[in-house]
């Protein structure tokens, strides 16, 4: 089969012939129809992100495809089924704290790297092997819909945070980082799940205006000024009632004070889920005030990726029309143009934009 291979950090991808994947018990092989290209793929390939990814490797996190072969223990998946290829691979012997690797992207800790030795190559290829439980059926689609369905890989991360905070219909959510890729996906999800209101702070007035145009009056934009106290007050004033929950997707380049200002909008008993990259490039700590957290019964938790139970729920929201994939503008590239796709993804990052490889 053909695959785009990263032979060493700092190099470009080389599209070449590699051996077809061979499966055993507990695995499937999927024909990749569309594979999302993350906006920061070039940073991963250069080594700038410092991701734990041994080379040579076929990169690519997640895909939409059709089952080509199933292992001897598969009971429901059938050849030809359309599936979402979940890149979050968990060790089967990890109990309540499984080791995790993001297939074709990175690994978490020493245990994740052990897992990565086997579940290594990702989706920038004509075929990929993955654990049976990571091939989630999505029902029949037309082949030209596969690229748009790749948005589900972004939506899954956002949905994982909303499930972690136990977000409920009728609540008001503030999305910190709403003008980014994951933040805007959170906006679409929360409104689809019945949010009373979503407060969307940011500095990019063009993107904030676009969000308002897409989602109507339940989306309330707030232009940030950099004055933390004033920004917190403005966000609180924008909500029709108290802010029940905050989901943070700010990037590594963001200052901790921006995240803190958003979190401190919470009403008594509010919840905050942190999923972004604040602090990963150094700088100020988040430093939330202990008395405020304690006296106001605030819950703050981190969430990395999502539980597997999130996948059928998200597919249900999409199939019900509560989350509309037509929001995403898709740019597709053939596998032979993998490097062009990586460059395009970097130059066209932002909400509701999806670059995909089409092997």
What CATH topology corresponds to 155-302? Rossmann fold (3.40.50)
pLDDT for 281 beyond 80 = no
What pLDDT is stored for residue 235 in this prediction?
97
Give pLDDT tens digits for 129-173. 999 999 999 999 999 999 999 999 999 999 999 999 999 999 999
pLDDT digits (tens, 9 = 90+) for 51-64: 889 999 999 999 99
- Residue 98's pLDDT is what? 93
pLDDT more than 70, % of the chain: 100
Angle at 189 between CA 185 and CA 192, to 5 degrees: 140
Q: How is the chain split into domains, by residue range?
A: 2-149+328-358, 155-302
> How sure is the predictor about 50, in pLDDT bands with cuts at 50, 70 and 90?
confident
Q: What is the pLDDT of residue 12?
A: 97
pLDDT digits (tens, 9 = 90+) for 160-213: 999 999 999 999 999 999 999 999 999 999 999 999 999 999 999 999 999 999
Q: How far is CA 182 from CA 45, 195, 249, 268, 311, in A?
A: 21, 17, 7, 26, 16
CA distance 147 to 159: 20
Tokens of 121: 């190559």
Architecture of domain 2-149+328-358: Alpha-Beta Complex (3.90)
């Amino acid at each position: 089969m053909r695959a785009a291979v990263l032979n060493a950090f700092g190099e470009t991808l080389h599209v070449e012939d590699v051996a077809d994947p061979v499966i055993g018990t507990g695995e499937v092989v999927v024909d990749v129809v569309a594979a999302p290209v993350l906006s920061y793929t070039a940073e991963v390939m250069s080594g700038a992100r410092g991701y734990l990814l041994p080379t040579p490797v076929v990169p690519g996190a997640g895909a939409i495809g059709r089952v080509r072969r199933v292992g001897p223990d598969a009971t429901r998946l059938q050849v030809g089924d359309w599936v979402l290829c979940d890149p979050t691979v968990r060790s089967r012997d990890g109990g309540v704290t499984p080791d995790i690797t993001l297939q074709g992207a990175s690994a978490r800790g020493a245990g994740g790297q052990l897992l990565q030795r086997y579940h290594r190559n990702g989706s920038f290829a004509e075929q990929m092997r993955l654990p049976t439980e990571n091939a989630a059926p999505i029902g029949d689609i037309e082949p030209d819909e596969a690229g748009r369905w790749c948005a589900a890989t972004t939506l899954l991360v956002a949905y994982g945070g909303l499930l972690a905070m136990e977000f409920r219909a009728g609540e008001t959510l503030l999305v910190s980082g709403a003008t980014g890729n994951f933040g805007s996906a959170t906006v679409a999800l929360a409104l689809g799940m019945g949010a009373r209101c979503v407060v969307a702070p940011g500095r990019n007035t063009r993107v904030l205006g676009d969000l308002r145009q897409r989602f109507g009056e339940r989306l309330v934009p707030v232009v940030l000024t950099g004055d933390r106290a004033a920004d917190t007050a403005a966000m609180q004033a924008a909500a029709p009632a108290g802010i029940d929950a905050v989901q943070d997707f700010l990037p590594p380049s963001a200052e901790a004070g921006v995240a803190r200002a958003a979190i401190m909008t919470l009403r008594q008993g509010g919840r905050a889920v942190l999923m972004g990259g604040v602090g990963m490039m150094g700088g100020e700590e988040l430093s939330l005030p202990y008395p405020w957290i304690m006296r106001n019964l605030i819950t703050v938790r981190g969430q990395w990726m999502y539980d597997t139970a999130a996948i059928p729920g998200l597919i249900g929201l999409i199939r019900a029309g509560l989350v509309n994939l037509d929001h995403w503008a898709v740019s597709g590239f053939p596998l032979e143009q993998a490097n062009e796709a990586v460059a395009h993804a970097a130059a066209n990052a932002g909400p509701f934009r999806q670059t995909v490889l089409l092997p």
